[in-house]
């Protein structure tokens, strides 16, 4: 048995039985991989912090666009002094972890691969790219479809609740005051000038060198008051829930390949599986966003069928 470690543990024909590492060597290898993974994470985190405001705006964009479209206040509130900073740091750290994940997974893979047989490494390297693609698809589905649709649905529903009582009108003589309605802001406003920005449905006043704005909307009983930390937590939870849920085809494939269930059993259990997926969708979607649960149930059914198709293909190739 060789006394020196393998030069290339990722080679197709490498057999882990050719070399046995001691516990000390395993720990040293693990320490080295952890340091490299954390160093990569720190570098990406520093880069994210340079564009930290843009990263935070990217997360808030779906809500901002919906509120802007509905003519509602687009500002997010915070309750504590440190909430903006801690949320900013958390968003950038999580974004850095996502961007650095290929490097982190690669370091972990270098540590694990040396202990795997060629057939085991073959399966992992074959299906890992598919897993990453499914993860990204789940997150893209949330950001561009589920989140805007859910926010729009909830806000539209709230806007249907009118103010109680009847609107009081009067015929009392008065001198109407008019405010200019502009498609944007004046190029060179003067102190005290005010106007209505028709593009954003805001009343704006130029005061002390800055444009101050007041959002006005329709007269409804309910008005949104979104909190920064709660919204970011919701977005993070939905991204994680959908990203992991989109791994379902690989789970189905693994169950069939390992032999826990055969393909015929998985086909016959469709109605029970769909019910279980509906329960799981309700359990893993964060918060009280019912629309997100519905939006997850539909693709899960398709992903289950995709898993069956992959399992049949793998069975035919054997």
In this prediction, residue 214 carries a pLDDT of 84
Residue 285 lies in a domain: no
The three-point CA angle 254-259-262 to 5° equals: 90
Q: How many angstroms separate the CA atoms of 283 and 286, rounded? A: 8
Range of the domain at 205: 181-215
Strands (E), 19-170: none
Q: Which of 259, 258, 252 is nearest to 307 (CA)?
A: 252
Q: Which residue has the higher pLDDT, 170 or 211?
A: 211
Coil, helix or strand at residue 139: helix
Residue 192, pLDDT > 50, answer yes
- How high is the pLDDT of residue 20? 66
| CB 304 within 8 Å of CB 273 | yes
Return the closest-CA partner of residue 29 out of 116, 109, 111.
111
Report yes or no on 314 lying in a domain. Answer: no
Q: What's the confidence (pLDDT) of residue 248?
A: 96
CA 137 from chain center: how many Å? 10
Residue 14: predicted pLDDT: 58
Lowest mean pLDDT among 126-140, 164-178, 243-257: 164-178
Least confident of 22-31, 56-65, 215-224, 300-309: 215-224
Structure confidence at residue 1 (pLDDT):
44
How far apart CA 187 and CA 228 sit, in angstroms, is 32
Q: Give me 261's structure tokens.
A: 């269930």
3-state secondary structure of 210: strand
Residue 11 lies in a domain: no
Domain contains 164:
no
Would residue 185 count as lying in a domain?
A: yes
pLDDT at 12: 57
DSSP structure class, residue 220: B
Please give the angle made by the CA atoms of 104, 106 and 108, to the nearest 5 degrees.
70
User: Which pLDDT score, from 0 to 100, does residue 272 have?
Assistant: 94
Q: How many domains does the chain have?
A: 1
Please say whether the dihedral angle defined by the alpha carbons of residues 224, 229, 234 and 235, taken in this order, is positive or negative: positive
Q: Which residue in 256, 252, 245, 225 sits closest to 286, CA to CA?
A: 245
Are residues 77 and 225 in contact, defined by beta-carbon separation less than 8 angstroms? Answer: yes
Residues 6+ apart with CB under 8 A from 226: 63, 76, 77
Has residue 173 been placed in a domain?
no
Residues 243-257 as b/e (b if ≥16 CB within 10 A, e otherwise) read bebbbbbbebbebbe
- Residue 155 within any structural domain of the chain: no
In a domain, 203, yes or no: yes
Least confident window among 18-22, 90-94, 227-231, 263-267: 18-22
Q: What are the phi and psi torsion angles at 108 (to 5°)?
A: -65, -40
In this structure, what are the phi and psi dihedrals at residue 31, rounded to the nearest 5 degrees? -60, -40
Q: Which residue has the higher pLDDT, 211 or 218?
A: 211
Residue 138: strand, helix, or coil? helix
Q: Which residues of 176-213 are buried (b: 16+ CB within 10 A; e: fewer)?
A: eeeeeeeeebeeebeeeeebbbeeebbebebeeeebeb
pLDDT at residue 138 tops 80:
yes
């Amino acid at each position: 048995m060789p006394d020196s470690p393998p030069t290339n543990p990722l080679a197709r024909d490498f057999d882990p039985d050719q070399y046995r590492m001691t516990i000390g060597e395993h720990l040293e290898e693990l320490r080295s991989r952890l340091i490299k993974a954390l160093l990569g994470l720190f570098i990406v985190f520093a880069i994210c912090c340079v564009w930290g405001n843009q990263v935070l705006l990217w997360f808030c964009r779906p809500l901002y666009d919906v509120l802007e479209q509905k003519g509602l206040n687009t500002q997010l509130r915070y309750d504590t002094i440190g909430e903006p900073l801690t949320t900013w740091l958390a968003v950038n750290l999580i974004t850095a972890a996502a961007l650095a994940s290929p490097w982190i997974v690669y370091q972990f893979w270098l540590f694990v691969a040396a202990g795997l047989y060629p057939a085991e490494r073959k399966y992992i390297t074959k299906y890992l790219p598919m897993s990453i693609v499914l993860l990204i698809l789940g997150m893209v589905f949330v950001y561009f479809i589920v989140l805007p649709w859910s926010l729009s649905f909830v806000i539209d529903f709230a806007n249907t609740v009118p103010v109680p009582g009847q609107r009081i009108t009067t015929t009392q003589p008065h001198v109407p005051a008019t405010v200019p309605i502009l498609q944007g802001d004046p190029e060179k406003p003067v102190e005290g000038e005010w106007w209505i920005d028709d593009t954003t449905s805001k009343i704006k006043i130029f005061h002390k060198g800055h444009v101050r704005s007041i959002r006005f909307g329709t007269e409804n009983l309910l008005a949104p008051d979104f909190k920064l930390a709660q919204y970011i937590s919701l977005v993070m939870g939905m991204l994680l829930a959908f990203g992991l849920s989109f791994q379902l085809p690989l789970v189905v494939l693994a169950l069939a390949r390992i032999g826990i269930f055969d393909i015929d059993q998985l086909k016959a259990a469709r109605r029970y599986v769909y019910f279980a997926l509906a329960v799981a969708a309700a359990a893993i979607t964060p918060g009280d966003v019912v629309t997100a649960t519905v939006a997850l149930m539909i693709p899960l059914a398709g992903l289950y069928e995709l898993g069956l198709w992959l399992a049949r293909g793998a069975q035919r190739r054997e």
